[in-house]
Structure 1
Amino acid sequence: MLYTKFISAASFAALFFSAFCHAAETSYPLQDTPLSGGAGSVDQHDQNAYSLPQGNMPMTRRLDFSVGNSFFRNPWVVAPSSTDARDGLGPLFNTNSCQGCHLKDGRGHAPASVDAPSVSLFLRLSIPADPERDADFLREHGVVPDPVYGGQLQTAAIPGMKPEADLIVEWKAVTQTLGDGTEVVMRKPIYRIENPNYGEMSEDLLTSPRVAPPMIGLGLLQAIPEDVLLAAADPEDENGDGISGRANQVWDRVAEKTVLGRFGWKAGQPNVLQQSMDAFAGDMGLTSSVALSTDCTPQQQCERFPNGGLPEVSDKVAGFIEFYSMSLAVPTRRDMDDPQMQRGAELFNQIGCAACHTPSYTTGQHERADLSEQVIWPYTDLLLHDMGPGMADGRDEFLADGTEWRTPPLWGLGLTKTVNPSAGFLHDGRAETVEHAILWHDGEARAAADEYRLLPVNEREALLRFLNSL
């Protein structure tokens, strides 16, 4: 819903006073150190800001990081190949390398026009589930994939194989009017699937657009104690603050049990290893011991083509990739002495942003000393929140429903476009600026977004300056 209503000065004062009182009841810390990622934070603020190893990583592990980096960055190829450690791509895929989506370990982007290829944005697919018939399958997979096109639309293929279809993204302009009359023109995506090559799409097909998120700090997020995250969940909103974060519960294939979901846009993955290997299977068509099959369905007959071994990603290579993905350092904060930035930090807490974007945690004991007992500032609760109809995908994933998304971490936010100038914000990259991302917030975040709309311009600029200092 577009916000176009103007309010009186008295109403503005009442709303601001309400936000201030709420902040007084719920105290959130103000970051007092530039070390957002604890002792492993790095002073890197250029296009390589997301690509450095943890600053406190022992030198003896730097080689493992470099090897994992090579498997993350370099393209995988069609089997058979003399490059047998990197063959087996496809037959259906979206990209041929992790770096193809996570540009310089940062965010991906949506295509800018109808004619532009969609590389780092893809569509998840599923069909409505029968809770009784599909109960066992849902417990382990979270969704029921399309019987022909699987769980992800793959827009590329190896020679001799046809891609599944073309993903077309069109943009519609939408305007929001702020409390002082400022008009903000944003873009809303409209998705179409064209030229399906394996028959008609299911009439009841459910789709969910996803853009690649940044890779920094994943190991630190995995090291946050589970009980700390669960303690913040309030699914019935018992405290009456309008925020009802829920924990997703997902299947851990290695542990063979249901555990807390932490990763992915709907917190549908339990850990970095499974998240990574599912990306290899879905995005590149590569099997591993954690993901024994790719997204090919029997109707597509992918077995006609040579594979790169069983599995194609060996446990040793998977270990290097996991280590690399868990080791990318968080850049330090900038401009913390700037008065405008400091005022923005106060506003972030006062208007309610911190209710979901929890500022700080201390990691628990971990087998890696560089991830253990670190005071970190990720600005997330890793919980699911109803974000309203404007961002809803209408597609469930484990316990997440069609309006819920996991709170994304904000650390490193201000360097997003330094790393990838084309990057967009939110789950599908629709937001071209941080302000646009704020204005898309609805549902549980509606009150905080409305408070932002009502701020005078200098206060809005202060809040944005704070966010861009992260």
Structure 2
Amino acid sequence: MKKHIVTLCILSSVFISACGGSGSSSDNSDNSNNNGNTDTNGGGTTVVLPGQPKDGLAPISAHTPDKNEHLSGGEVSTNVFNQDAFSQSAKVIQSDFELEGVFKAGDQLFRTLHDGQGPLFNNATCQGCHIKDGRGEVPRNPSMPMTSMFLRISDDKGTPDIIYGDQIQTFGTVADHNEGALPKYNGALNEGLAYGEAYAFVEYEVINGQFNDGEAYQLRKPIYKVKDLSYGDFNDSVRLSPRVSPSVFGSGLLHAIPEDYITSYADPDDINNDGISGRAVYVDEPISNENKLARFGYKAVTASVLQQISGAYRGDMGVTNIVAQEEPCTSMQAACINKAEQEKDDRENGLDLSKLSLAQVEFYNRLLAVPQRRGYNAQTNTWNADVLTGRELFHQAQCISCHVPRHKTGQAEGSLLGDAGLLDISDTSTPIAALSEQVIYPYTDLLLHDMGGHCPEITREDDEGNSCLSGSQCYWVQKCEGLADDRPEGSATGTEWKTPALWGLGLVQTVNPNATFLHDGRARTITEAILWHDGEAKAAKQNFVALSKAERTQLLTFLESL
């Protein structure tokens, strides 16, 4: 079968970043320690590439998988492949009564309603957003509110909206609404009650296309509409960005990769002149007050699992904690502020979540195991033939330059909060041995890449699509081209996204049959996700379209094995 060497890069269950660019690969399958920054192309010319991490590992082979490549999370891998595949603890802690107990305590908290929730929130529990520790889902029709996705909001400079902050919360805390009060047009202003902020929904425009071999495909272009603003109008240059909750397993391993291993793949100035670049960005981490590499969030905005989950507690559930201590009310939301004041008497040190509970949930998130690869027979040490061919196509395409297959963790630092026990938390912070010095296969560089697209200004329309200026039936409508959201966030522009990890990709819809792909869930299949490439990855999409059906199938078989 003819093999195409294409500059192709594949979208994950969360989002696909550009391919090409940083890093290098080698077809050498020996065990030599050769982590230099040069490579040789088919013509024998030496090409200087961005650096390769000095992790002591031999270059990964395009033809022969590593001996333990089926163990995606190293020793933090699980052989559970059913709907609970993303919810398993690292095996090494299962024999430790206290550590397994802390994990289970964190698991329970992850699934539990918390006192002091609100006054504004998107979901009542962590598990409600991260369904079975996997992805959230897009509501099946406009009459269903968003519960495991939401819209980020700002002005055109990325500054939070003066009224609504940086996130639209769908539900509010109002008497007689046990599951949360949905937004009501000017309800908070007119009644002084903490209704949800606004109601967002999505409709789709069908885009038809075909591969070069004539097979047809359809894509769904999302159109976002927002109505029933409870606290008044958005700012004049409002920008919105949809987000489906991502999977959380494996985050502790990603957290443990040394910064210099990741930044060695960065190529912001495209010094190898391949049209692809990756940017490392930094943020201030709470508690430590240190400037660290941002590696979590769709646009790389948080530096640690602790920072990520504490912000989610506050923003998604309205649960304050030692890291994120302010209620999700802006100074312009009197109804929210008044409701928050009523909560204060029942909270520990003025916070909704104790330090111990937050540390237990952090531990749970960090010790969630990664599913092993499928398509591998451990008894015979052999791989499915189509998985191997698809893997080779993936390597030949240089998709590994962004979706870097392999990393090695360093010493996994302990929690900045202290060591969590079952009943108390200590002042010590012990490194987590289970996550340390592991060879893992996440398929990500954790860097920002420009994926192209643009967004016209948000318009005002009624439900018939006619232009309007104000009123309860006058919606805010966002119609973007491509994957852009036109909303700067942190150091990321309105067209940049962080390369996600691909591990677990083939089990996304096993864990949650309603899950879809990309940051906003527009793609119903992995193929659709690939076809949304643009920007730095425009050529990759075109080359994917040019593959034969048999080759596309092999490449997808490989991805589904991850």
Secondary structure (helix, strand or coil) at the match of 2:292 reads strand
Task: Give the one of 33, 39, 62 matched to 2:100.
Answer: 62
The residue number in structure 1 matching 2:323 is 290
The residue number in structure 2 matching 1:94 is 122
Instruction: Give the whole-Å Cα distance in 2 for the aligned partners of 1:171 and 1:29.
Output: 42
Cα distance, 1:17 vs. partner? 5.4
The residue number in structure 1 matching 2:421 is none
The residue number in structure 2 matching 1:172 is 205
Instruction: Give the whole-Å Cα distance in 1 for the aligned partners of 2:249 and 2:386.
Output: 26
* Higher percent of residues as helix: 1
Cα distance, 1:29 vs. partner? 3.8
- Aligned AA (2:410): G
Whether the aligned pair in 2 keeps the contact of 1:29 and 1:359 (CA below 8 Å) is no
Q: CA RMSD in A?
A: 1.9
Instruction: Give the whole-Å Cα distance in 2 for the aligned partners of 1:332 and 1:147.
Output: 46
Instruction: Give the whole-Å Cα distance in 2 for the aligned partners of 1:398 and 1:270.
Output: 12
Instruction: Give the whole-Å Cα distance in 2 for the aligned partners of 1:190 and 1:54.
Output: 40
Secondary structure (helix, strand or coil) at the match of 2:332 reads helix
- Taking the TM superposition and a 5 Å limit, the aligned residue runs for 1:420-459 are 420-459=512-551
- Deviates further, 398-407 or 440-449: 440-449
Deviations 1:404-435 (A, max 9, x none): 00001000000000000010111111111011
Task: Give the one of 71, 94, 101 matched to 2:109.
Answer: 71
Q: Mind listing any 5+ residue stretches in structure 1 that lack a counterpart?
A: 1-12, 77-85, 130-142
The residue number in structure 2 matching 1:145 is 160
- Aligned AA (2:338): R
Task: Give the one of 22, 25, 38 matched to 2:74.
Answer: 38
Whether the aligned pair in 2 keeps the contact of 1:330 and 1:412 (CA below 8 Å) is yes
- 1:202 aligned to 2:235? yes
Whether the aligned pair in 2 keeps the contact of 1:288 and 1:314 (CA below 8 Å) is yes
Instruction: Give the whole-Å Cα distance in 2 for the aligned partners of 1:71 and 1:423.
Output: 23
Deviations 1:216-275 (A, max 9, x none): 100000000000111110001001122200012212121223221000000111100010
What TM-score do the two structures reach when normalised by structure 2?
0.75
- Aligned AA (1:380): T
Cα distance, 1:195 vs. partner? 0.9
The residue number in structure 1 matching 2:368 is 328
Deviations 1:429-467 (A, max 9, x none): 111101111111111222222221111000000000000
Deviations 1:317-336 (A, max 9, x none): 11001000101100000113
Instruction: Give the whole-Å Cα distance in 1 for the aligned partners of 2:92 and 2:400.
Output: 28
Deviations 1:102-143 (A, max 9, x none): 0000011112222222111100111134xxxxxxxxxxxxx4
Task: Give the one of 347, 357, 363 matched to 2:393.
Answer: 347
- 1:116 aligned to 2:144? yes
Cα distance, 1:19 vs. partner? 5.3
- Deviates further, 298-307 or 189-198: 298-307
- 1:48 aligned to 2:84? yes
Instruction: Give the whole-Å Cα distance in 2 for the aligned partners of 1:19 and 1:100.
Output: 38
- 1:311 aligned to 2:375? no
Instruction: Give the whole-Å Cα distance in 2 for the aligned partners of 1:199 and 1:89.
Output: 23
The residue number in structure 1 matching 2:443 is 379
Secondary structure (helix, strand or coil) at the match of 1:186 reads strand
Instruction: Give the whole-Å Cα distance in 2 for the aligned partners of 1:168 and 1:18.
Output: 37
The residue number in structure 2 matching 1:235 is 268
Shift of the 196–234 alpha-carbon distance from structure 1 to 2, 3 Å rule, reads: same
Q: Report sequence identity in percent.
A: 45
Instruction: Give the whole-Å Cα distance in 2 for the aligned partners of 1:206 and 1:119.
Output: 21
- Aligned AA (1:114): P
Instruction: Give the whole-Å Cα distance in 2 for the aligned partners of 1:430 and 1:353.
Output: 22
- Aligned AA (2:398): G
- Deviates further, 366-375 or 442-451: 442-451
The residue number in structure 2 matching 1:139 is none
Structure of larger gyration radius: 2
- 1:409 aligned to 2:455? no
Secondary structure (helix, strand or coil) at the match of 2:370 reads coil
- 1:364 aligned to 2:400? no
Whether the aligned pair in 2 keeps the contact of 1:351 and 1:452 (CA below 8 Å) is no
What TM-score do the two structures reach when normalised by structure 1?
0.89
- 1:464 aligned to 2:492? no
Cα distance, 1:369 vs. partner? 0.8
Instruction: Give the whole-Å Cα distance in 1 for the aligned partners of 2:403 and 2:300.
Output: 15
- 1:159 aligned to 2:192? no
Shift of the 316–453 alpha-carbon distance from structure 1 to 2, 3 Å rule, reads: same
- Aligned AA (2:141): S
Instruction: Give the whole-Å Cα distance in 2 for the aligned partners of 1:323 and 1:18.
Output: 41
Instruction: Give the whole-Å Cα distance in 2 for the aligned partners of 1:314 and 1:453.
Output: 52
- Aligned AA (1:378): P
Whether the aligned pair in 1 keeps the contact of 2:119 and 2:328 (CA below 8 Å) is no
Whether the aligned pair in 1 keeps the contact of 2:6 and 2:540 (CA below 8 Å) is no
- 1:272 aligned to 2:310? no
Whether the aligned pair in 2 keeps the contact of 1:29 and 1:360 (CA below 8 Å) is no
Cα distance, 1:352 vs. partner? 2.8
Instruction: Give the whole-Å Cα distance in 2 for the aligned partners of 1:439 and 1:28.
Output: 27
Shift of the 280–125 alpha-carbon distance from structure 1 to 2, 3 Å rule, reads: same
Q: Mind listing any 5+ residue stretches in structure 2 that lack a counterpart?
A: 9-19, 26-39, 42-48, 50-58, 176-193, 377-382, 413-430, 454-481
Alignment: residue pair count: 434
The residue number in structure 2 matching 1:5 is none
Whether the aligned pair in 2 keeps the contact of 1:52 and 1:329 (CA below 8 Å) is yes
Whether the aligned pair in 1 keeps the contact of 2:4 and 2:393 (CA below 8 Å) is no
Task: Give the one of 249, 253, 257 matched to 1:220.
Answer: 253
Cα distance, 1:182 vs. partner? 1.4
Task: Give the one of 490, 497, 506 matched to 1:398.
Answer: 490
The residue number in structure 1 matching 2:179 is none
Shift of the 62–387 alpha-carbon distance from structure 1 to 2, 3 Å rule, reads: same
Whether the aligned pair in 1 keeps the contact of 2:406 and 2:439 (CA below 8 Å) is yes
Cα distance, 1:202 vs. partner? 1.2
Secondary structure (helix, strand or coil) at the match of 1:38 reads coil
Secondary structure (helix, strand or coil) at the match of 1:207 reads strand
Instruction: Give the whole-Å Cα distance in 1 for the aligned partners of 2:390 and 2:203.
Output: 34
Whether the aligned pair in 1 keeps the contact of 2:205 and 2:223 (CA below 8 Å) is yes
Cα distance, 1:18 vs. partner? 6.8
